[in-house]
């Protein structure tokens, strides 16, 4: 009897797995409270009507057409655990019915911000280069080893994009008391001011910063919005750190700016992933390289499951989800960050 009453959850979390995003204990909790139906994006529409009609939640981001969505008559929330919203369902119908579509991408904010600060400190103090030199027996001691070294404390720092990642970036920077300028065209200025930073134009961020962090997602409007002109306008010796998606920059132009010695850079993302073995960025001095690994920590994946679990609890109590981020009618169709296919 009790079996019948447990809410039903459709699970198709690829590229994640339930085991990746839930600890064993939490997965047991989940199975105790809900009936889990493990399926795939492809198989979901073929499930029995009775199953679809009882599904309260979906964990995953399956493509859904009007008909399938209609059959999901009890659906309250779709938990996208990849984290990038895709235009793969009739959002009008979803929103009209009051179904929440949410993502757990916020779990990546903390690990990405931490490595982002690590990139900045490595660039400003040449930590990686000095280690390589020391190993090669060509280290320079004391002040001789600090050509171009700069402090971060009190520096002028820019952040482009002030979502979860931008906020986490500002948090890990706190102890450095930077003068922080933030550009985010989707946010009212008051949100930036209340975070203790200054709202700024893209130009101001690019031209008046010692370090620039790019955390903006790709949208239908901002592909390649940072190009040769923007890099040329940066301060000499400034550090440019790319943390979101390569599509927001003109990557060859970024490489050229670094190659010229005008700026230094670090990136976690690339136009192609994996990157060709002979890609010239691999041998570019002044460009710190990381293979799209900034967010993919085990602990981040486990927080995904925790967010899903806690928000399901709120929804079960008749409250809206709170920890996951909701897709918005106004913006969902503009998102263009490509999902990952591996964890």
Q: Which of residues 183-202 bind a copy of itself (CB under 8 A)?
A: 186-191, 196
Q: Are 90 and 64 in contact (CB under 8 A)?
A: yes
- Give 120 or 226: the residue with its C-beta nearer to a copy of itself: 120
Closer residue to a copy of itself in complex, CB, 25/318:
318
For position 318 contacting a copy of itself by CB under 8 A, the verdict is: yes
Q: Which stretch binds a copy of itself (CB under 8 A): 6-14, 25-33, 246-254, 305-313?
A: 305-313
Report the site for a copy of itself in 127-166 (rule: CB under 8 A).
Answer: 127-128, 130-132, 134-135, 137, 139-146, 149-153
121: contact with a copy of itself by CB under 8 A: yes
* Site size toward a copy of itself, by CB under 8 A: 84
The whole-angstrom separation of Cα 140 and Cα 6 is 66
Among 14, 310, 316, 335, binds a copy of itself (CB under 8 A): 310
Which alpha helices (H) appear in 55-108, and where do they start and end? Answer: 66-71, 91-96
The CB-side HSE value for 190 (13 A sphere, CA atoms) comes to: 0
Asked if 283 interacts with a copy of itself (CB under 8 A), we say yes
In the complex with a copy of itself, the residue whose CB is nearer, 37 or 212, is 212
Instruction: Kindly state whether residue 277 participates in binding a copy of itself, applying the rule CB under 8 A.
Output: yes
Stretch that binds a copy of itself, among 3-11, 37-45, 224-232, 323-331 (CB under 8 A): 323-331
Distance CA(157)–CA(124), nearest Å, equals 13
Shorter beta-carbon distance to a copy of itself: residue 231 or 309: 309
- Helix, strand, coil percent values for the chain (each to nearest 5): 40, 15, 40
Give residue 25's region: left, alpha or beta (phi > 0; psi -120 to 50).
alpha
Q: Write the CA distances from 179 to 122, 164, 305, 318, integer angstroms.
A: 20, 20, 36, 43
By CB under 8 A, what part of segment 97-116 binds a copy of itself? 97-98, 110-111, 114-115
Separation of first and last alpha carbons in the chain: 38
Rank residues 3 and 278 by Cβ distance to a copy of itself and give the closer one. Answer: 278
Cβ partners under 8 Å of residue 166, min gap 6: 159, 160, 182, 184, 213, 215
Chosen residue from 212, 264, 307, 308 binding a copy of itself by CB under 8 A: 307
Q: How many CB atoms lie within 10 A of CB 318?
A: 7
4 scored as a contact of a copy of itself (CB under 8 A): no
Q: Residue 183: beta bridge partners?
A: 160
33 interacts with a copy of itself by CB under 8 A = no
Per CB under 8 A, the list member of 51, 86, 172, 202 interacting with a copy of itself is 172
CB of 132 to a copy of itself, least distance (A): 6
Nearest-approach distance from CB 328 to a copy of itself, in angstroms: 5
**Pairwise CA distance, residues 63 & 40, whole Å:** 10
Beta strands (DSSP E) in the chain are: 8-12, 35-38, 55-60, 77-80, 100-103, 156-160, 179-183, 198-199, 211-214, 239-242, 264-267, 287-289, 325-326
Closest to a copy of itself by CB, 2 or 341: 341
3-state secondary structure of 159: strand
Among 38, 319, 338, 339, binds a copy of itself (CB under 8 A): 319
């Amino acid at each position: 009897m009790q079996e019948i009453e447990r809410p039903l959850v459709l699970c198709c979390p690829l590229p994640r797995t339930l085991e990746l995003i839930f600890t064993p204990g939490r997965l047991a909790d989940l199975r105790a409270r809900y009936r889990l139906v493990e399926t795939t994006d492809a198989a979901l529409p073929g499930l029995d009507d009775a199953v679809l009609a009882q599904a309260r939640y979906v964990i995953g981001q399956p493509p859904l057409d009007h008909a399938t969505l209609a059959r999901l008559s009890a659906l309250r929330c779709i938990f996208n655990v990849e984290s990038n919203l895709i235009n793969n369902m009739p959002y009008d119908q979803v929103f009209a019915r009051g179904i929440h579509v949410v993502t757990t991408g916020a779990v990546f904010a903390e690990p990405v911000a931490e490595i982002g600060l690590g990139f900045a400190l490595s660039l400003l103090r040449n930590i990686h280069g000095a280690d390589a030199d020391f190993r090669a027996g060509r280290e320079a001691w004391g002040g001789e080893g600090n050509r171009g070294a700069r402090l971060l404390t009190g520096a002028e720092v820019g952040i482009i994009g002030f979502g979860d990642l931008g906020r986490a970036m500002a948090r890990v920077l706190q102890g450095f008391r930077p003068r922080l300028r933030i550009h985010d065209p989707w946010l009212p200025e008051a949100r930036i001011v209340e975070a203790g930073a200054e709202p700024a134009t893209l130009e101001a961020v690019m031209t008046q910063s010692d370090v620039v962090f790019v955390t903006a997602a790709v949208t239908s409007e901002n592909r390649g919005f940072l190009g040769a002109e923007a890099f040329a306008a940066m301060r000499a010796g400034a550090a440019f750190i790319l943390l979101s998606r390569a599509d927001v920059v003109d990557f060859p132009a970024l490489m050229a700016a670094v190659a010229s010695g005008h700026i230094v850079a670090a990136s976690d993302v690339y136009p192609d992933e994996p990157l060709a073995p002979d890609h010239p960025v691999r041998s570019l001095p002044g460009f710190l390289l990381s293979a799209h690994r900034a967010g993919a920590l085990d602990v981040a994946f486990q927080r995904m499951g925790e967010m899903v679990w806690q928000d399901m609890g709120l929804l079960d109590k008749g409250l809206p989800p709170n920890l996951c981020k909701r897709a918005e009618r106004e913006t969902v169709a503009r998102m263009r960050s490509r999902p990952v296919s591996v964890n």
